[in-house]
Amino acid sequence: MDAITGAWQWLGTAANWAGEKGVWHRLGEHLWLSGLCLLLSCLIALPLALWLGHIGKGGTLAVNVSNVGRAVPTFAVLVLLTLSPLGKHGDWPTIIALVLFAVPPLLTNVYLGIREADRDVVEAARGMGMSGPQLLRRVEIPLAYPLIMTGLRSAAVQVVATATLAALAGGGGLGRIITAGFGNYDTAQVVAGAVLVALLALVVEGALVLLDRACDPMRGRRRGQRKRGRGPVEELPPAAAPTRDVSTGQPT
């Protein structure tokens, strides 16, 4: 496997890490883009999903938006936006595409989380005289926490993956190392870039799993007694009827 030794050498060469096309610069671009877009997606999807879940309307939309998102190729959207008048404004096509693909998993998971919160508990809280906002903050959100975090995780991984694709449409980010490698038939660089991208995605996923555990409002209280109804849904589609599957968008 000379590709691996080649990639290792590439990664070990200081020149490849420095400068405009170096790893550090690309990593910075990647993280900046991903962070910004994740923030924007949360700002759009979270309030909407919490509100829809709270009033119990718009379920079809919230659930099906993920299914539609899976059918649309990210690459196509990126290129279409790049060729549109927006393409003249630097990173905007990438940012819009990233947000478009991060919103569906967030929306679906958060909405379902709020809807799946134990109705008896919600009714009891209402009976104790909690107002709508109180109910949401103290009962529904804590109960929906596992699914909210699942949505965040899948959105984050989605964003990191999509930021990689930005390179195909001439944007920045770590993907550029891969596309540049393909461009000048440098297999070592292609593999090195791929390793960096894969590592970043796994690190983001792992960091969010840890964050999930650290912030869990029910920490240590869930063990041994499963919630009634569906437990926290794994971040990949459990076999559900296709109309009700909770899942990540497509990996990109």
Partner 1 sequence: MAQGGGPGCLERNDWICGEYLRTRSQELLDATLQHVGITVVSVLLGLLVAFPLALLARHRRGVAGPVLGLTTVLYTVPSLAMFALLTPVFGVSPSVVVTGLVLYSLTILVRNILAGLDGVPAEVREAARGMGYGSARLLFEVELPLALPALVAGVRIATVSTVAMTTIGSVVGYGGLGNLIASGMEGFFKAEVLTASVLCVLLALVADLLLLGLQRLLTPWTRPRSGGRRVRRGAAVAKAVG
CB 115 to partner 1: min, Å: 20
As a whole number of angstroms, the distance between CA 125 and CA 128 comes to 5
Which residue, 18 or 198, is less far from partner 1 as judged by CB? Answer: 198
Near partner 1 by CB under 8 A: residue from 40, 64, 70, 130: 70
CB of 52 to partner 1, least distance (A): 23
Tell me if 193 contacts partner 1 by CB under 8 A: yes
DSSP letter at 136?
Answer: I
First to last CA, the chain: 27
Among 53, 164, 232, 233, binds partner 1 (CB under 8 A): 164
230 makes contact with partner 1 (CB under 8 A): no
**Cβ–Cβ under 8 Å, residues 252 and 165:** yes
Measured CA to CA, the distance from residue 81 to residue 88 in angstroms comes to 10
Between CA 115 and CA 59 the distance in angstroms is: 9
197 counts as binding partner 1 under rule CB under 8 A: yes
Residue from 50, 62, 77, 246 touching partner 1 (CB under 8 A): that is 77
Nearer to partner 1, 43 or 203 (CB): 203
Rounded Cα–Cα distance for residues 229 and 217 (Å)? 19
CB 93 within 8 A of CB 86: yes
Task: Give the CA diameter of the chain.
Answer: 69
Interface ranges with partner 1 (CB under 8 A) = 1, 3, 67, 70-77, 79-80, 82-83, 157, 160-161, 164-165, 167-169, 175, 178-179, 181-182, 187, 190-191, 193-195, 197-198, 201-202, 205, 234-242, 245, 247-248, 250-252
